[in-house]
């Protein structure tokens, strides 16, 4: 499984040229405290990639509640966690991203036994206690990214997405247990440039190059509401 480290997120300002065989990841370390999917900053980023005015974009909720553009050749997925945002973009390739920033102690073994496959819960239990929270977040993030890419969301079943950890708690493989093996799942484990952050990118289909960017803070002018009409 590919892994992107903090050094792989290059400082830049959106949009950047997006080839048909690429996926772009944007990490925003500071995002306005508002619903990300309907926010003016997101619409402006999407509009920049499309070369259209932000006020003409139309968004809708697809199956599973995933936000999507209407009548626009751009796929996107986003994840918001503790004031930070991860955005994935592609042309013609459905994808899913997730972002998790630790913020409180959680009973990770209890949660894993409830929501993950039994073998995954046992693998988590074998980790040193200090590594379990990060291992749990990594597994959760990959599962959620895959389910977002699939379009089902968490209702698709966390246990259906099998994640394998190495002895240090780092993911080395992920996929859907009941998926057609003819079309491969592609997963990338992310370590965004924020303390303790983990994330994931997933898609199903041909291999694509992935470029990751670290966005600047959003200025107030970009965060202001968009006036339509």
The enclosing domain of 157 has a CATH number of: 3.90.470.20
- Quick one: three-class SS letters along 129-157? HHHHHHHHHHHHHHHHHHHHHHCCHHHHC
Domain count for the chain, please give it: 1
Asked if residue 221 has pLDDT above 70, the reply is no
Asked if residue 222 has pLDDT above 70, the reply is no
Q: Does 129 reside within a domain? A: yes
Q: Does 228 reside within a domain? A: no
Q: Does 121 reside within a domain? A: yes
Q: Does 60 reside within a domain? A: yes
Q: Which residue segment(s) compose the domain that 128 sits in?
A: 2-223
Res. 229 pLDDT band, cuts 50 70 90: very low
Q: What is the pLDDT of residue 137?
A: 95
Tens-place pLDDT, residues 17-75:
999 999 999 999 988 776 777 788 899 999 999 999 999 999 998 877 889 999 999 99
134/42 Cα distance (integer angstroms): 29
Q: Does 229 reside within a domain? A: no
Task: Answer positive or negative: Cα dihedral of 173, 179, 183, 185.
Answer: negative
Which whole number is the average pLDDT over 197-205?
A: 96
Tens-place pLDDT, residues 105-125:
889 999 999 999 999 999 999
Q: What is the pLDDT of residue 217?
A: 76
30/49 Cα distance (integer angstroms): 21
Query: What does pLDDT average to over the chain?
Result: 91
Closest-CA residue to 98 (of 168, 174, 165): 174
Give yes or no for a contact between 31 and 99, defined as CB atoms under 8 angstroms apart.
no
Give yes or no for a contact between 212 and 218, defined as CB atoms under 8 angstroms apart.
no
């Amino acid at each position: 499984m590919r892994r992107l480290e903090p050094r792989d997120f290059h400082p830049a300002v959106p949009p950047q040229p997006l080839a048909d065989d690429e996926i772009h990841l944007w990490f925003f370390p500071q995002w306005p405290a508002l619903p990300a999917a309907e926010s003016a900053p997101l619409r402006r980023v999407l509009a920049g990639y499309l070369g259209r005015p932000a006020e003409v974009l139309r968004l809708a909720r697809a199956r599973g509640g995933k936000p999507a553009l209407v009548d626009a050749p751009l796929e996107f997925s986003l994840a918001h966690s503790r004031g930070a945002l991860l955005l994935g973009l592609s042309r013609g390739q459905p994808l899913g991203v997730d972002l998790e920033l630790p913020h409180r102690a959680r009973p990770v073994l209890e949660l894993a036994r409830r929501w993950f496959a039994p073998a995954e819960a046992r693998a988590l239990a074998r980790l040193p206690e200090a590594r379990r929270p990060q291992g749990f977040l990594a597994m959760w993030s990959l599962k959620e990214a895959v389910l977002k890419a699939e379009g089902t969301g968490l209702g698709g079943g966390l246990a259906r997405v099998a994640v394998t950890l190495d002895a240090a708690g780092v993911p080395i493989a992920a996929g859907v247990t009941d998926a057609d093996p003819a079309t491969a799942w592609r997963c990338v484990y992310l370590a965004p440039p924020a303390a303790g952050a983990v994330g994931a990118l997933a898609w199903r289909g041909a291999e694509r190059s992935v470029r990751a960017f670290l966005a600047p803070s959003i200025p107030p002018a970009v965060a202001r509401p968009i006036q339509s009409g």
